[in-house]
Structure 1
Amino acid sequence: MSSPEHKQKIWQLIKDIKVGMLVTLDDDVPHARPMHLVQEEYDGTLWFFTRRSAEKVAEAAGGHDVCLTFSDQEHGVYVSLTGKASLTDDRELIEKYWNPFVAAWFPQGKHDPDVALLEVHVQMGEHWKAKESKVFQLYEFAKANIKKDAIPNLGENQKFGG
């Protein structure tokens, strides 16, 4: 788990990315697919619309861990989050998070019995944020290659939870 301040930091890193890759296990084989955030704030739980009949629902059932990754190469932001997924058909939450983007994926509307929300309770993760330009990063790589004992300093890296 993380502090309220750290949750705010995670949200600042991922809120503009919007689309993360959800990784589940299909038997013992990782399976990733893009998922679009639907919330406007983060308290340790991430929300995604899904079809109740989707493979990811069965793969995440039974308290299995899932992983979500977010990446923004332009700004040097990389986030990996691990947690437990569960399915809900809470009508109040569906109403709260429903929007035109989601509606495009569900032509029968929000009352379609196959519409559900995937809820991911984040338990641990890691994030990286480059603090400098690409030119500076290239300089750090070159310096590390010249000075065989130097490691490139590309910015912030922090683990949490677990």
Structure 2
Amino acid sequence: MADKDTPQEVAAAFIAKLKASPFVMIGLMDGQHAEPMTAQLDDDQPNTLFFFSGPDNRIARGGEAMAQFVGKGHDFFACLAGTVTRDNDPAQVDKLWNNHVDAWFPNGKADATLLRFDVSSAELWETDISLTGRVKMLFGGTITPSESSSHAKVDAIA
């Protein structure tokens, strides 16, 4: 990790990137492939991502899971470990429901299942390679740690 970035700063950058492009690949640790889903964030519940799915979605049964994220500009990467469970709280559904979610469910909330992914640990990479480092990549040369990207291992993402 570059000296200028603490794990908390890298985690905050992750949240900002996820808000800008909320798409992750998520799958249960059962040997099935991960699938793309749109994460919903609740600022009142750090370390938790929410997803609306159909009740028969492959991750809807819950369990240990992994999620991967790539920032819109390929400038941030994350791998998150945690547990998926169903969240049947109508107030939470109402809080997170929006027009983007509604577009996927023709019968509205009656067709949707809210899943929560409680993040237990994460590895985060911010590819903030310096200008000097980029020139070295283009023309050859060794990138020093101070010219490299930020990396953080955290027990939680907030």
Assess same fold via TM > 0.5. Answer: yes
Structure-2 change in CA distance of 1:40 and 1:88 (3 Å): closer
Q: Find the partner of 2:23 among 10, 19, 40.
A: 19
TM-score, structure 1 normalization: 0.76
- Residue 143 of structure 1 deviates from its aligned partner by 1.3
State the number of aligned residues: 148
Are the aligned partners of 1:132 and 1:154 in contact in 2 as well (CA < 8 Å)?
yes
Q: How does 1:7-156 map to 2 (within 5 A)?
A: 8-26=12-30, 29-39=31-41, 41=43, 43-58=46-61, 61=62, 64-72=63-71, 74=73, 76-110=75-109, 112=110, 114-132=111-129, 136-137=133-134, 139-140=136-137, 142-144=140-142, 153-156=147-150
Per the alignment, do residues 154 and 49 of structure 1 end up closer, same or farther by CA in structure 2, a change over 3 Å counting? Answer: same
Displacement of 1:84 in angstroms is: 0.9
Superposition RMSD on alpha carbons, in Å? 3.0
- Could you tell me the percent identity over the aligned residues? 24
**1:159 corresponds to which residue?**
153
Q: Give TM-score scaled by structure 2 length.
A: 0.77
Larger RCO: 1 or 2 (CA < 8 Å, sep 6+): 2
User: What CA deviation, in whole Å up to 9, does each residue of 1:136-158 have, x standing for no partner?
Assistant: 436247213xx9xx789531011
Task: Please list every run of 5 or more consecutive structure 1 residues that lacks an aligned counterpart in the other structure.
Answer: none
For structure 2, the residue ranges without an aligned partner over 5 or more in a row are 1-6
C-alpha distance in structure 1 between counterparts of 2:88 and 2:77, whole Å: 31
The alpha-carbon deviation at position 35 of structure 1 amounts to 1.0
